[in-house]
Structure 1
Amino acid sequence: METLSIGQYDLIYNAFSFGFATLAAATLFFWLGIGQVKPQYKTALIVTGLVTFIAAYHYFRIGQSWSDAYTLADGTYVPTEKVFNAAYRYVDWLLTVPLLLVELILVMSLTRSETVSRATSLGLAALLMVALGYPGEVSDSGSMRWIFGLLSMIPFLWIVYQLYSGLGKAIENQPENARGLVRLARNVTVGSWCFYPVVYFAGAVGLEGATATVIVEVGYTIADIIAKAGFGVLIFLIAMRKSEDVADRNASTVPAE
């Protein structure tokens, strides 16, 4: 735990507060919008809201832990007896990262067998990715951070391969009015996830002290907002577009009077 200036402490605290507010608002938006989509896409929106709800709860707890971990003394924030609980992030990721992939799969309307198969394999890979990263995150050793960080990249790269190769054909088979959004959702997933290892390895490349703390905490918060709330908006738009497509096709089959 590092001594922080008032500006550094407030930047991190405000980032946590903004993350909680954004994710909580996103949860309400997604769940209140369930009635606007066709039944086959409701589950995707339920899962989308569940992801942001879990993340909002953990950001509330992260903010509490951050407040307890520091106290103002002589114009700087110094650590207290209560250590900041970084494990909240990894508990959150263990729950939400697999569900993020499930969101995308559910909204693509694959066959039941393919949905179960892909959701299971990608979900397990996501769990492994997060679990492998945690020992390096909490280690004081730069070498341990590199070792476990690189190990966690193995399932990460496999997930990226599956999103671009395995789901490539399925994306091309999506309705034309939603195909671009599905492709964008996949790209946002991969792009936002690439931000995590950049932040993760900040300490491994020699960045230390208060600056490293600010980069890690604010960086992870930005990535979480994009990967969960931003990605969720795309899932909502896809569900809306595909619901409109279903309605249009049903209307076209109704015989004229």
Structure 2
Amino acid sequence: MQLDSNQWNLVYNVFSFGLVSMLACTIYTLVSQQRVLAKYRNALVMSSMVTFIAGYHYLRIFDSFKHASEGGKVLLDGSQNSFNEAYRYVDWLLTVPLLLVEVIAVLALAKEVSRSLITRLVPASAAMIALGYPGEISSDQNTQVMYGVLSTLPFIYILYVLFVELGKSLERQPAGVAETVGRLRLLLIATWGVYPIAYIFNIVGDASSSSFVTVQVGYTIADVLAKCVFGLTILKIARMKSMAEGMKDDH
């Protein structure tokens, strides 16, 4: 894949942006632990874990892109020195379940409700990522479509749990929390929507330099929104709930 200098620099800078965003968000959520009540700190710990894991994988993606590049040409042939897209799937396999658990943890629901939601959401999210990967690496269009459809099934189930089952648990939340969680779910769906679009683009699109750049930029922006902005919103919810339960604003 031959990229011109502007395309190569764009991908390079976007990967750099993704890496520093993840690292900065990790530090910020870690140092914000004392700003919320103890029972909400697990949610912030998971948020820090998500961005730390993503930051590590962006370091590997960044490094892989540099090693696969020579004079603007990026190797995508599956050889030892080619660009390794698998780092993204390893990242998603670890971080997507944690993102969903973050939401449940910050709401501090009854143990039975939390356990029920987690035991449904975590396996479904892992299945969604695991089923998408064979289609991502396959060059056969029928295989790509089959695994695309299969990975969509747990995605639809996750939507059902988030919007129907979790929605039932929001009625007893403090003022403003239910609305913020509603926006959080919409953010999750909007950013997750980028991934299947890029997946479909890989199936029907041509193997051009512009398509490679579009997919990489799209994935990275979606990752920053789905992990960093999501994590900061989790912090906001934890702060709102802590304040509603008597924590002083200057704590």
Same fold (TM over 0.5): yes
Q: What corresponds to 2:65 in structure 1? A: 66
Shift of 1:248: 6.6
In structure 1, C-alpha distance between the alignment counterparts of 2:240 and 2:145, rounded to whole Å: 43
Q: What corresponds to 1:6 in structure 2? A: 5
Cα contact 1:69–1:81 (8 A) shared by 2: no
Matched, 1:177 2:173: no
Deviates more, 1:33-42 or 1:81-90: 81-90
Cα distance 1:167–1:4, how it changes in 2: closer, same or farther (>3 A)? Answer: same
Deviates more, 1:223-232 or 1:78-87: 78-87
After TM superposition, list the pairs within 5 Å mapping 1:138-157 onto structure 2: 138-157=137-156
Matched, 1:160 2:159: yes
Shift of 1:88: 0.5
Q: Secondary structure at the match of 2:82?
A: coil
Cα contact 1:142–1:203 (8 A) shared by 2: no
Cα distance 1:180–1:206, how it changes in 2: closer, same or farther (>3 A)? Answer: same
Shift of 1:109: 1.2
Matching residue's letter, 1:175: P
Cα contact 1:171–1:183 (8 A) shared by 2: no
Give percent identity, aligned residues only.
42
Matched, 1:100 2:96: no
Cα contact 2:74–2:83 (8 A) shared by 1: no
Q: CA RMSD in A?
A: 1.5
Matching residue's letter, 1:138: I
Q: 66, 73, 89: which is aligned to 1:77?
A: 73
Q: How many pairs align?
A: 245
Q: What corresponds to 1:255 in structure 2? A: none
In structure 1, C-alpha distance between the alignment counterparts of 2:122 and 2:168, rounded to whole Å: 20
Shift of 1:8: 1.3
Matching residue's letter, 2:68: A
TM-score by length of 2: 0.94
Matching residue's letter, 1:199: A
Q: Secondary structure at the match of 1:172?
A: coil
Shift of 1:173: 2.1
Shift of 1:137: 0.7
Q: Secondary structure at the match of 1:131?
A: helix
1:53-101 CA-to-partner distances (Å, cap 9, x unmatched) read 00001001100000000111xxx43539611111100100010000000
Shift of 1:171: 1.7
Q: Secondary structure at the match of 1:113?
A: helix
Q: Secondary structure at the match of 2:70?
A: strand
Q: What corresponds to 1:246 in structure 2? A: 245
In structure 2, C-alpha distance between the alignment counterparts of 1:78 and 1:57, rounded to whole Å: 22
Q: What corresponds to 1:254 in structure 2? A: none
- Unmatched 5+ residue regions in structure 2? none
Q: What corresponds to 1:55 in structure 2? A: 54
Matching residue's letter, 1:77: K
Matched, 1:89 2:85: no
TM-score by length of 1: 0.92
In structure 2, C-alpha distance between the alignment counterparts of 1:240 and 1:138, rounded to whole Å: 42
In structure 1, C-alpha distance between the alignment counterparts of 2:164 and 2:117, rounded to whole Å: 12
Cα contact 1:98–1:123 (8 A) shared by 2: yes
Q: What corresponds to 1:226 in structure 2? A: 225
Shift of 1:23: 0.7
Shift of 1:174: 1.1
Cα distance 1:172–1:191, how it changes in 2: closer, same or farther (>3 A)? Answer: farther
Q: Give the structure with higher Rg (CA).
A: 1
Shift of 1:212: 1.6
1:217-236 CA-to-partner distances (Å, cap 9, x unmatched) read 11110110000001111100
Q: What corresponds to 2:206 in structure 1? A: 207
Q: What corresponds to 1:131 in structure 2? A: 130
